[in-house]
């Protein structure tokens, strides 16, 4: 006889859950193992309870409250006669719970063991968080009809069977959105289902599933006393099962990939397809070869002039001359210079201030390349062979350095040239005014001889006047005015008549007339000519020479040093008031005592032989960019007749005019040629050259300069680029003419710019593509 | 002898200094090949050592010349700290380091005689944000259980369009006593509360812009998130205008009116209405200033779509017309409502300002029911190009201003009628869900964001001066450039996918924030859910101070 546990007191008042449960505990302690509980919504009936000897407990409950059978242990069976409230079988740890009616919400919630059989429906969230402890049998949860929504959320294990009996008309026997977060276990179900979460698969049964159901279904139906349904519920084709996706499967989304979306659903050809050409399939890296490089290298040999070449008024490309020397092509090298100037020995080697050396990159390392020595190397070089006779004749007015340079170049270009010289000797100021100590005469004469030997006709003692000029113009295909500047400029200070003119003085010195000077000499003008005058004055016996100027002296430092070495002084700024018998009186009252005062502030050309209208406002020949007189086609002017300058300027303009005349004589149109730009220093990797110790420096052999020249702008063929290229993209290609080039392979090059960054000569340049 | 003069620009004048370890470098060339700013270059360095090894001084020398990578020292090609060099270096041999002693702000102005321009966001006061002082502090528990973020049905929708109060809806009572429609109600679109904010086809590369558009379409079509994107001003690709995806686009009109010719011409071919129209009056990053697209980004297709030659494109700071400001605004609202036959909501975007509440109050009256939203953009917003002084020093923070506007509407009983949308540095710390949620709790209906979208796609810029070179057109990741070779770096599919994924993550996170406070729909104005850890912020925003 089971213990009767009544949920009411003697007055038919409901007792509390606590009192009811105490009654059960007392009976249990008294040895009862079967209980018939008449509840009135009392909770937590059925567990966790046990017996000392392990004999089973059985509860039959009517009208239970929430959580009937919760925490139930193995050996406990609870049968609810009728329906149960929420949380029936909650945290079931092994009990068998039979609900003959419906289960409430969250039936079998967190069940981890035992069996729960429901003869009707269950509410929402049923079976949620069911688990399977592997040390025990998995929990089973059987429902004859259907569950509410959100069931089996976060289910981690165990078995649920939802038979869907009589619920075929529903959209879903699991309500809506069940199985969210389900990670384990199996749910068998019969009947329609929808709104399942993405966390699970809905599958057909396999053989093991069928045998499980076939074996357990009778047990269930027996418990809920509906054995007659066995046949109906064992058509396994009507059944499916739900299992959780595995960890790996969970990562997979059913959505299309973005690629699929773009190709299949997005606007065809892309929304910019009509205005931009772009293949979206191609995605560049951060580093690319080929077309997506940000920079592309170009090997630009001789794109820029070296500083020496660009700064040389005669435009001599010394870097190329040295390259030839380096290659062992000595003859070619020495001849090369003669294409630019017939005076490499006299001018480059002796009197030129060598602007090339001021500009020389090597200067920044130790000393500039020794240009004077290099110039002298060409002193004995044979003249290049002139081109074949053109049949044209050119007259050159003036046999100075400019006129001779023009004549020389014209002759080399194959023209007949006649030089008209007023003096008894050609050479102009080189011969007439440069002191012997600055230009050994045998050097000059040797070079003049080389000019004459080229077949240039020279008429000395032939000053050109207007009638002769007209005649020359008529008889020749072109005329070069190269008469220089021989009218000294004199400032009409009071007492200016006391002054000697520098040019006349120097001419007298060089002609051997030994002009007299006093012990104290003041030279007005501290430019190049002024320094020559100073030297001349010392040579003529002066004891103290002082050069004055109104501004910073224009002479070159080596010229000034030369004078200072002899004891000369340079004074500036000094503004002359007047010249007296005592010397030069300054505007500031200073008196420079002088026995002789010489003025050397420049000379003007005497162009009285050409029509006045050919001249500029300043009295110079007005010429265009090609050296041709603006007013007289076929007449070219060079040197000091167009602008006062150095000897090298005269030579440069002479050579240049000769080239224009060559074009002119061939009937070509004259356009001013742009001189190549000087290479920017930033392009050069000077660091690759080891500076020599200045303290020990001395030029012993001009040929040795080949190792010091950086070869700015001209490839020295060192192959640094080829070695440094990280992609091995650079090759050196020999050309048929014996030359070579370096080439970067676009398919390999990544545009890093290492070649350009380390090229000693600045040959590689990166074209910016972005 | 190195001839460096005082005024020469050297690396230590620049905002970033390249740290380079020659001993780790293999001269693979990657860094110099990848640097779009040309801020590093290969060079040769001399190494010279004078030493004596014997017992007596016996001087010897060792000399070598070594190719290295070196920082370029000038004011146009200087390092922006983008770190692409570090990214591509196989050996960790190179990296930019922030230079706290930079003289860049001074020397740039001294040399150029021109204002400094850049992109990005405000670079001052990085790290101190009002929003970071707010927490969602009212957690539902026990008696008002919080919701289950994963399973609960949330309604994450915000209105774009004029919301009429019930009494003003165009209904009448018919003869049979039933309600009948009586006229056209203003159009309202219920959309995702995060709008992708207005970045133009000139500001972004075509790949990036298309990636955003594609991500938006994907979010709608494949993920069910009704996200909308604002075109930015500067034209909309015609193919998009004629596609069904136009329905996800909010078309922008700003003072330059760029690109509207093609929009108007495309109208007969439109198969969908656009999601809305946004009239841009101001921008948070550079309030009081007009749009600026530097010439280097005005590519051919931009020239065509905008109808302009290659030049710096400056939009005027205000909408030009013969009208007063009020009339001008009215003109824009009326015209753009009419342009789409009153079927498309029209909203306005202004820069947050000390006067924003007045402006908002004016609009709230809205007698014609044509004001479909008030977009308020704060100082921390991003921009493709602006004068640095505007970026860093002009503008108004968004948080209190949004709150003020909301409370102004509340005091009139009109909250929600003109939807409030807020922006300006939201998601700056990478956490847009939290920022959006807080703004919504303070009274915003939704938020909009731009720069963060770029960061999703791969933008490496930040608010501590990193990169911020959108104006140069040399974006190293192909996002804000029109240079094909740089644009090719961006994978539009990956960029789109990242945006989609971020939104999916953010969507989860928004739910994770709504659940604890027990709101199923957006908690607009539920400032009781917020607490502030700063007393000043608490007082200003009228929320609870906690410590």
pLDDT tens for each residue of A582-629: 999 999 999 999 999 999 998 999 999 999 999 999 899 999 999 999
Tell me how far apart the alpha carbons of residues A405 and A399 are, in angstroms, rounded to a whole number: 9
CB A637 within 8 A of CB A396: no
Q: List, for residues A273-304, the tens digit of each pLDDT value.
A: 999 999 999 999 999 999 999 999 999 999 99
| Residue B30 distance to chain A (closest CA, Å) | 6
- Per residue in B135-166, pLDDT (tens digit) is 999 888 766 667 777 767 789 999 999 999 98
* DSSP letter (8 states) at residue B126: T
Contacts of B474 in chain A (CB under 8 A): 770
> Does pLDDT of A348 surpass 90?
yes
What are A226-235's pLDDT values in tens digits? 999 999 999 9
CATH 3.20.20.70 residue window(s) in chain B:
132-151+189-545
Residues of chain B with CATH 3.30.70: 11-114
Minimum CA–CA partner of B235 in chain A: A272
Whether B145 and chain A come into contact, CB under 8 Å, resolves to no
Model confidence at A657, pLDDT cuts 50, 70, 90, reads very high
A306-310, B317-321, B371-375, B516-520: least confident range:
B317-321
B-chain residue closest to A258, CA distance: B493
Residues of A in contact with B44 (CB under 8 A): 685, 687-688, 757-758
Asked if the bond preceding A436 is cis, omega within 30° of 0, the reply is: no
CB A391 within 8 A of CB A471: no
Determine which of B26, B42, B153, B225 to mutate to test the interface with A (most A C-beta atoms within 10 Å).
Answer: B42
| Range A370-396 average pLDDT | 93
Confidence (pLDDT) at B324: 66
A690 touches chain B (CB under 8 A): yes
Per-residue DSSP letter, A628: B
- Tens digit of pLDDT for each residue in A154-178? 999 999 999 999 999 999 999 998 9
> Mean pLDDT over residues A124-130, rounded?
95
Among B40, B485, B502, the strongest candidate for a mutation testing the A interface, having the largest count of A CBs within 10 A, is B485
- What residue in B sits closest to A272 (Cα-Cα)? B237
State the Cα angle at A762 between A758 and A768, rounded to 5°.
85
Tell me if B490 and A283 make a contact (CB, 8 A cut-off): yes
pLDDT tops 70 at residue B450: yes
| Fold adopted by B11-114 | Alpha-Beta Plaits (3.30.70)
Q: Which chain B positions have a beta carbon within 8 Å of A180's beta carbon?
A: 150-151
Specify the pTM: 0.85
Rg (CA), chain B: 27
The pLDDT > 90 percentage for chain B reads 74
Q: Band of the pLDDT at B321, cuts 50, 70, 90?
A: low
Among A328-342, A645-659, B327-341, the least confident range: B327-341
**Chain B interface includes A253 (CB < 8 A):** no
B249 near A CB under 8 A:
no
Q: Where in chain A is the domain with CATH 3.50.50.60?
A: 393-485+605-665, 490-601
Q: Which candidate from A177, A273, A275 shows the least CB-CB separation from B151?
A: A177
Average pLDDT over residues B106-115: 93
Distance (Å) from the alpha carbon of B156 to chain A's nearest alpha carbon = 19
Q: What is the pLDDT of residues A93-108, one digit of tens each?
A: 999 999 999 999 999 9
Helices and strands in chain A, H and E counts = 20, 30
CATH code of domain A490-601: 3.50.50.60
Percentage of residues in chain A having pLDDT higher than 90: 90
Reported as a pLDDT band with limits 50, 70 and 90, residue B66 is: very high
Q: Which of B9, B29, B85, B502 to probe the A interface (max A CBs under 10 A)? A: B29
CATH number of A102-250: 2.160.20.60
Per-residue pLDDT, B143: 67
Looking at A194-203, B248-257, B300-309, which range is the least confident one?
B300-309
Query: Cβ–Cβ contacts within 10 Å for residue A228, how many?
Result: 8
| pLDDT at res. B161 | 97
Contact across the interface for B44 and A758, Cβ inside 8 Å: yes
Do the chains contact at A687 and B46, CB–CB below 8 Å?
A: yes
CATH of B132-151+189-545 among 3.30.930.10, 3.20.20.70, 2.60.120.380, 3.40.50.300: 3.20.20.70
Please report the pLDDT score of residue B322 as a whole number.
54
Interface contact flag, B27 A726, Cβ < 8 Å: yes
Which residue of chain B comes nearest to A260, CA vs CA?
A: B493
Residue A292: list chain B partners with CB under 8 A.
485, 488-489
Q: Does A260 touch chain B (CB under 8 A)?
A: no
Residue B214: which of A266, A756, A758 has the nearest Cβ? Answer: A266
d(CA A723, CA A740): 17
What are the beta bridge partners of residue A34?
A58
Question: What pLDDT is attached to residue B128?
Answer: 76
CB-count burial class (<10 Å; 0-12, 13-18, 19+) for B5: exposed
Span A375-385, mean pLDDT? 92
In the predicted model, what is the mean pLDDT of residues A315-323?
Answer: 95
Q: Does residue B490 sit at the A interface (CB-CB below 8 Å)?
A: yes
Strands (E) across A163-312 are located at 184-190, 200-204, 239-244, 295-299
Pairs of CB atoms within 8 A across A/B: 169
Over residues A731-745, mean pLDDT: 95
| Average pLDDT of the segment spanning B106-129 | 87
Residue range(s) in chain A whose domain bears CATH number 2.160.20.60:
102-250
pLDDT tens profile A474-510: 999 999 999 999 999 999 999 999 999 999 999 999 8
Tell me the residues of chain A between 325 and 384 that have a Cβ less than 8 Å away from chain B: 364
Q: Identify all chain B residues contacting A726, using CB atoms and an 8 Å cutoff.
A: 26-29
A336, A663 Cβ separation under 8 angstroms: no
**B475-526 pLDDT tens trace:** 999 999 999 999 999 999 999 999 999 999 999 999 999 999 988 899 999 9
A625 touches chain B (CB under 8 A): no
Q: What distance in Å separates residue A366's CA from the closest CA in chain B?
A: 10
Q: Residues of A with CB below 8 A from B9's CB?
A: none
Comparison of pLDDT for B258 and A684, the residue scoring more: A684
Token pair 């449960």 is found at A21
DSSP characters over A97-162: EEESS---TTTTTT--EEEEEESS---TTTTTT----TTSPPPEEEESS---TTTTTT-EEEEEEE
Question: Do B41 and A690 make contact, defined as CB atoms within 8 angstroms?
Answer: no
Angstroms from B244 CA to nearest CA on chain A:
9
B7's CB contacts (< 8 A; 6+ apart) are none
Question: Which of B304, B483, B486 is opposite residue A275, by nearest beta carbon?
Answer: B304
Query: Mean per-residue pLDDT for B5-11?
Result: 92
Per-residue pLDDT tens for A208-228?
Answer: 999 999 999 999 999 999 999
Gap between the Cα atoms of B398 and A740, Å rounded = 67
Given CB atoms, is B126 within the 8 Å cutoff of chain A? no
Where does A393-485+605-665 sit in CATH, by number?
Answer: 3.50.50.60
Query: Are residues A275 and B305, on separate chains, in Cβ contact within 8 Å?
Result: yes
pLDDT exceeding 70 applies to what percent of chain A? 100
Is A718 part of the contact surface with chain B (CB cutoff 8 Å)? no
What digits encode the pLDDT tens for the residues B430-439?
A: 999 999 999 9
**Which pLDDT value is given to residue A24?**
94
Contact B238 A274 (CB under 8 A): yes
Check residue B49 and give its pLDDT: 95
Q: Among all chains, which residue has been given the structure tokens 């380096």?
A: A326
- Per-residue pLDDT, averaged over A510-522, amounts to 91
**Res A124 pLDDT > 80:** yes
Q: Hey, are the CB atoms on A256 and B87 less than 8 Å from each other?
A: no
Task: Evaluate the CA torsion angle B498, B501, B507, B510 in order and state its sign.
Answer: negative
């Amino acid at each position: 006889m089971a213990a009767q546990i009544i949920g009411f007191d003697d007055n038919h008042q409901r007792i509390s859950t606590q009192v009811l449960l105490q009654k059960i505990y007392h009976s249990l302690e008294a040895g009862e193992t079967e209980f018939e509980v008449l509840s009135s919504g009392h909770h937590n009936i059925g567990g966790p309870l046990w017996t000392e000897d392990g004999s089973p407990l059985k509860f039959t409950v009517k009208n239970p409250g929430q959580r009937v059978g919760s925490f139930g242990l193995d050996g406990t069976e609870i049968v609810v006669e009728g329906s149960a409230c929420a949380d029936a079988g909650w945290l079931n740890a092994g009990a068998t719970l039979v609900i003959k009616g419906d289960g409430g919400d969250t039936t079998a919630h967190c069940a981890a063991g035992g069996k729960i059989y429901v003869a009707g429906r269950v509410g929402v969230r049923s079976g949620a968080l069911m688990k399977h402890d592997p040390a025990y049998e998995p929990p089973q949860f059987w429902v004859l009809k259907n569950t509410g929504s959100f069931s089996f959320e976060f289910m981690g294990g165990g078995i649920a069977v939802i038979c869907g009996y009589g619920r075929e008309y529903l959209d879903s026997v699991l309500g809506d959105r069940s199985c969210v977060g389900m990670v384990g276990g199996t749910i068998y179900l019969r009947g329609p289902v929808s709104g399942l979460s993405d966390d699970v698969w809905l599958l057909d049964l396999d053989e093991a599933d069928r045998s499980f159901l076939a074996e357990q279904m009778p047990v269930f139906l027996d418990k809920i006393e509906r054995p007659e349904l066995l046949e109906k519920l064992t058509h396994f084709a009507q059944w499916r099962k739900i299992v959780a996706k595995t960890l790996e499967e969970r990562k997979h989304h059913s959505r299309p990939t973005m690629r699929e979306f773009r190709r299949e659903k997005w606007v065809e050809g892309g929304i910019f397809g009509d205005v931009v050409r772009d293949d979206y399939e191609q995605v560049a890296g951060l580093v690319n070869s080929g077309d997506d490089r940000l920079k592309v290298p170009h090997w630009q040999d001789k794109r820029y002039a070296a500083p020496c070449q660009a700064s040389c008024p005669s435009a001599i490309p010394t870097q190329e001359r040295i390259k030839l020397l380096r290659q062992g092509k000595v003859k070619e090298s020495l001849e090369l210079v003669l294409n630019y100037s017939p005076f490499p020995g006299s001018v480059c080697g002796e009197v030129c201030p060598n602007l090339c050396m001021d500009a020389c990159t090597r200067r920044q390392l130790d000393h500039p390349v020794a240009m004077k020595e290099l110039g002298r190397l060409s002193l004995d070089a044979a003249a290049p062979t002139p081109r074949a006779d053109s049949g044209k004749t050119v007259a050159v007015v003036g046999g100075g350095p400019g006129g001779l340079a023009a004549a020389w170049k014209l002759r080399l270009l194959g023209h007949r040239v006649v030089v008209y010289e007023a003096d008894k000797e050609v050479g102009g100021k080189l011969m007439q005014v440069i002191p012997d100590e600055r230009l050994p005469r045998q050097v000059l004469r040797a070079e003049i001889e080389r000019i004459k030997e080229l077949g240039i006709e020279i008429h000395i003692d032939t000053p050109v006047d207007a009638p002769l000029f007209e005649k020359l113009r008529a008889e020749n295909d072109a005329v070069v005015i190269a008469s220089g500047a021989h009218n000294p400029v004199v400032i009409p200070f009071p007492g200016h008549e006391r002054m000697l003119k520098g040019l006349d003085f120097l001419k007298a010195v060089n002609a051997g007339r030994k002009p007299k000077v006093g012990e104290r000499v003041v030279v007005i003008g501290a430019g190049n000519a002024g320094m020559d005058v100073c030297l001349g004055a010392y040579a003529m016996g002066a004891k103290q020479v002082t050069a004055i100027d109104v501004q910073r002296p224009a002479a070159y430092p080596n010229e000034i040093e030369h004078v200072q070495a002899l004891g000369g002084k340079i004074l500036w700024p000094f503004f002359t008031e007047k010249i007296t018998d005592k010397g030069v009186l300054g505007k500031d009252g200073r008196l420079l005592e002088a026995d002789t005062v010489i003025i050397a502030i420049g000379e003007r050309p005497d162009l009285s032989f050409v029509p006045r209208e050919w001249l500029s406002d300043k009295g110079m020949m007005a010429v265009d960019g090609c050296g041709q007189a603006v007013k007289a086609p076929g007449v070219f002017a060079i040197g000091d007749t167009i602008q006062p300058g150095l000897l090298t300027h005269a030579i440069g303009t002479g050579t240049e005019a000769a080239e224009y005349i060559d074009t002119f004589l061939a009937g070509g149109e004259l356009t001013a040629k742009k001189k190549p730009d000087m290479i920017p220093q930033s392009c050069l990797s000077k660091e690759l050259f080891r500076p020599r110790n200045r303290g020990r420096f001395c030029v012993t052999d001009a040929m040795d300069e080949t190792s010091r020249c950086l070869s700015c702008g001209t490839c020295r063929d060192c192959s640094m680029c080829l070695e440094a290229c990280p992609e091995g993209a650079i090759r050196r290609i020999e050309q048929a003419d014996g030359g070579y080039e370096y080439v970067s392979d676009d398919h390999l090059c990544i545009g890093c710019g290492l070649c350009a960054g380390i090229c000693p000569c600045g040959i590689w340049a990166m074209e910016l593509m972005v | 002898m190195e001839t460096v003069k005082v005024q020469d620009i050297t690396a230590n004048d620049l905002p970033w200094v390249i740290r380079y370890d020659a001993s780790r470098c293999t001269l693979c060339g990657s860094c110099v090949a990848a640097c779009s700013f040309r801020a590093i270059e290969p060079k040769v360095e001399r190494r010279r050592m004078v030493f004596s090894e014997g017992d007596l001084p016996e001087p010897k020398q060792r000399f070598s010349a070594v190719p290295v990578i070196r920082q370029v020292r000038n004011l146009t090609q200087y390092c922006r700290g983008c770190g692409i060099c570090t990214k591509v270096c196989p050996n960790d041999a190179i990296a930019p380091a922030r230079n706290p002693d930079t003289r860049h702000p001074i020397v740039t102005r001294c040399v150029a005689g021109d204002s400094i321009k850049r992109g990005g966001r405000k670079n001052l006061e990085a790290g101190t944000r009002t929003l970071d002082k707010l927490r969602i502090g009212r957690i539902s528990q026990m008696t008002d259980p919080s919701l289950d973020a994963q399973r609960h049905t949330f309604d994450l929708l915000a209105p774009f369009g004029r919301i009429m109060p019930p009494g003003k809806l165009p209904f009448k009572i018919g003869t049979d006593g039933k309600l009948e429609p009586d006229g056209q109600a203003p159009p309202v679109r219920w959309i995702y509360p995060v709008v992708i904010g207005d970045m133009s086809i000139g500001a972004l590369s075509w790949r990036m812009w298309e990636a955003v558009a594609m991500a938006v379409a994907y979010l709608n079509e494949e993920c069910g998130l009704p996200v909308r994107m604002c075109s930015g001003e500067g034209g909309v690709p015609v193919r998009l205008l004629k596609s069904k995806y136009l329905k996800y686009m909010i078309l922008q009109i700003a003072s330059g009116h760029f690109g509207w010719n093609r929009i108007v011409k495309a109208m007969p071919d439109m198969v969908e209405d656009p999601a809305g129209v946004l009239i841009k009056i101001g921008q948070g990053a550079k309030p009081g200033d007009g749009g600026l697209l530097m010439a280097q980004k005005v590519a051919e297709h931009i020239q065509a779509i905008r109808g302009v030659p290659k030049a710096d494109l400056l939009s005027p700071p205000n909408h030009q017309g013969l009208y007063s400001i009020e009339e001008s605004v009215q003109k824009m609202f009326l015209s753009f409502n009419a342009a789409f036959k009153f079927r498309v909501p029209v909203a306005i975007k202004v820069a947050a300002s000390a006067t924003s509440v007045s402006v908002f109050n004016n609009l709230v009256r809205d007698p014609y029911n044509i004001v479909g939203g008030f977009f308020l953009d704060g100082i921390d917003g991003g921009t493709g190009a602006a004068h640095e002084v505007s970026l860093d020093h002009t503008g108004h923070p968004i948080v209190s201003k949004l709150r003020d506007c909301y409370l102004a509407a509340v005091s009139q009983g009109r909250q929600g009628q003109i939807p409030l949308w807020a922006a300006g540095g939201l998601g700056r710390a990478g956490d847009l869900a939290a920022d959006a949620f807080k703004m919504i709790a303070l009274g915003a209906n939704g938020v909009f964001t731009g720069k963060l979208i770029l960061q999703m796609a791969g933008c490496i810029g930040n608010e501590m001066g990193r990169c911020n070179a959108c104006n140069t057109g040399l974006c190293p990741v192909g996002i804000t450039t029109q240079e094909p070779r740089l644009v090719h770096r961006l994978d539009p599919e990956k960029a789109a996918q990242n945006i989609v994924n971020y939104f999916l993550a953010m969507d989860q996170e928004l739910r994770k924030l709504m659940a604890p406070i027990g709101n199923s729909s957006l908690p607009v104005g539920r400032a009781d859910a917020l607490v502030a850890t700063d007393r000043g912020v608490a007082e200003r925003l009228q929320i609870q101070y906690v410590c």
